[in-house]
Amino acid sequence: MSTSVTGPVAGPAGAARPADARRALVAGSVGNFIEWYEFGVYGCFATVIAGHFFTPEGGSAAEGLVRTYASFALAFFFRPVGAAVFGRLGDRVGRRPALVLVVCLMTGATTLIGALPTYASIGAAAPWLLTLLRILQGLSAGGEFGGAVSLMTESAPPGRRGRYGAWQSFTVALGLLAGAGAAAVLASVLTPSQLEGWGWRVPFLLALPMGLAALGLRLRLDEPPVVVAAAGGGETACGGETVGGKAPAEAYGEGPAGATACGGPAGRGSGGTVRAVVLGVGRVMGWSAAGYTFLVVLPSYLQSTLNATFQQALVATALANLGFASSILPAGAVSDRIGRRTVMVAGALLVAVFALPLLNLVQDVGGSPYVKGAALLAAGAVVGLMGGPGPAMLAEMFPTRVRCTGLGLAYALANALFSGCAGLIITEAVARTGDVDMPAHYAAAACAVSALALLTLRGDDHLRPLR
C-alpha cells in the first residue's frame, strides 16, 4: 500500500477524537447534499429540460422525456469510472484529496448546467453539452460516495458506524428535499412562462455557493486514524488494522491471524474484492431501484402518466422524501444494536410486498389526499430502512486499503444498473405496455432479489472492527 497521509493519532480504540469525528461527519455529508440536491432539481425539472434540450421541432413530449432520462442514465454509467478513479486516489493518497477534487468537479458541472444554452439557441450541440456535464457529474458522484462513507464510518465512535454512515443517506434525503423545495418555491413565485424560460436555471446556479462552502470544510479535514495507522504500517497482510498488535481475528478470538479477517468477501487479494463488489451490488440494488423510483422518478411519472400538475408532483415528491428522511437515522441507529441484516431485509421485503398497493393508492383519482399522502410517506420510509444501514454495511465489507474503491464501485454499479436506468425503463415500459403499475413492479422485483443477497450478511458484522 502506498498511502501518504497525515492526521490525528488514534485513540485507545483507534477512534477519532470527538471533534474530528464531528468534522468528518459534516464534511462528508455536505458533498452528498449538493450531489443529491442537483439530482432532485433535475428530476423535478425533467419535463422542462426535455423541452429545452431534447425535443427538436416535430418531436413529442414523450420522446423528449425519454431522451432526458437516457442522458440521466448515461451519466450513471460513468459513476463506476469515478468510483474507480477517485476511490483509488482515496485509498492510495488519502480521503481528503479525493473528496476535495470531487466537490470541485461536482460544483463546476452543476453550475454550468444552469448557464447552458438551449436547443433553440445552439441547436444539436445543446443536448450533447448537457450530456457531457451530466457525465462529469456522474464521475464526481461515483467518487463522492466511496470517499465520504469511508471517511464517516472510519471516524465514527465505537458502536456508531451505522448512525454515522446513515448521515450519508440522510443528506441524500435533505438534498432531494432541497431540490424539490427550490423547484416548489420557484413554481409559486414565477409564472409558468418565467419558470420555463429562465427560472429552472436558478437552482442549478445555487450550487456554486454551496460548493464553495463544502470545499472550505473539506480543506480542513484530517485523515481518519485507521487510515493513518494503515499508512504507517499498522495493517495486516490482508488489509485489516491490527488490534493490540494482533490481526482482528486473533484479537477477538476468531481463530488464527488471517483465518477470518482475510477470509471475508474482500480478503485474499483482488479476486476477493471483486466478489465483494458483486455481492455489494446485490445487497444495495433494491435500495437503488426503490429509492430512485419513489424519490426521483416520481414527479415526471405523475405528470406524464397520471396527468398531475407540476405542483402536485412536487408535493408528492416532498412527502416521499420526508418519509425517507424520517426513517434513515433511526434505521442506522437500530442497526448498530440489532445488526444491518435484520433492518435492511425488513425494508427490502416491505417494498417487495407493498410497492403495488401503495402506488395504487396514489393512482386513485377519487382517493383521499390524506390517504395518498400517507402512502407516499410510507413508501419513502421503507426505503429508508435500507438506506440507513446501507453505507455502514458496505464499509464493513472491505479492508482499509481498498475501502474507498470497493464500496464506491459496489454502490456506483448498483446505481448505474438499477437507478440511472429506472426513469428510462419505467417510461419506456409504460409507453409500450400501457401498464401504469410499472414503477411498483420494478421496485418490488429489485427488492426481492436484494433481500436474498442481504440474507448472506452475518448477524454480528456491526460488532466487528473495520478491517
- If we measure between CA atoms, which residue out of 165, 170, 168 comes closest to residue 327? 170
- DSSP per-residue letters across 273-320: HHHHHHHHHHHHHHHHHHHHHHHTSHHHHHHHHH---HHHHHHHHHHH
Number of domains the chain contains: 1
Is there a domain that residue 113 lies in?
Answer: yes
Domain containing residue 335? 18-220+256-460
Q: Which residue has the cell 458484522?
A: 461
CB within 8 A of 424, min separation 6: which ones?
Answer: 66, 69, 70, 72, 73
pTM score:
0.80
Is there a domain that residue 95 lies in?
Answer: yes
Predicted local distance difference test score (pLDDT) of residue 7? 44
Instruction: Give the domain CATH number at 184.
Output: 1.20.1250.20
- If we measure between CA atoms, which residue out of 399, 403, 95 comes closest to residue 242? 399
C-alpha span between 15 and 90 (Å, rounded): 19
Is there a domain that residue 245 lies in?
Answer: no
Is there a domain that residue 142 lies in?
Answer: yes
Predicted local distance difference test score (pLDDT) of residue 267? 52
Is there a domain that residue 137 lies in?
Answer: yes
Is there a domain that residue 266 lies in?
Answer: yes
113: left (phi over 0), alpha (psi -120 to 50) or beta: alpha
What pLDDT, in 10s, does the model give residues 18-37?
A: 777 888 889 888 888 988 88
Is there a domain that residue 8 lies in?
Answer: no
Is there a domain that residue 180 lies in?
Answer: yes
Low-confidence ranges of the chain (pLDDT < 70): 1-16, 55-73, 230-270, 299-300, 304
Predicted local distance difference test score (pLDDT) of residue 270? 65
Predicted local distance difference test score (pLDDT) of residue 369? 82
Predicted local distance difference test score (pLDDT) of residue 269? 57
Predicted local distance difference test score (pLDDT) of residue 11? 42
CB of 325 closer than 8 Å to CB of 177: yes
Predicted local distance difference test score (pLDDT) of residue 62? 61
